[in-house]
Amino acid sequence: MTRGWTVVAVAVAACVVTTGCISRSRADVTVTGTTTVSKGQELTDLQRALEAGAISPADYEKVRAKILKRAN
């Protein structure tokens, strides 16, 4: 996954978490597949989304916790 796609993925995740873009009836979104993006890169991109105001601090913490809990 390229850096640009990572930013898009974080933006989509932020949209889903903050506004429920997909459906209010779904509490969680499951993504299947593989990625070559490291946890560190995901966390960096997530931090940038927070700094840009794309996500709230509460949403940042929720997504951050999920990233850190995932297996390497």
* pLDDT given for residue 1 in this prediction: 47
Measured torsion, CA atoms of residues 15, 32, 28, 16, in degrees rounded to the nearest 10: 10
- pTM flag (> 0.85): no
DSSP of 9-68, one letter per residue?
HHHHHHHHHHH-SS-TT-S-----S-----HHHHHHHHHHHHHTTSS-HHHHHHHHHHHH
Express as a percent the part of the chain with pLDDT over 90: 46
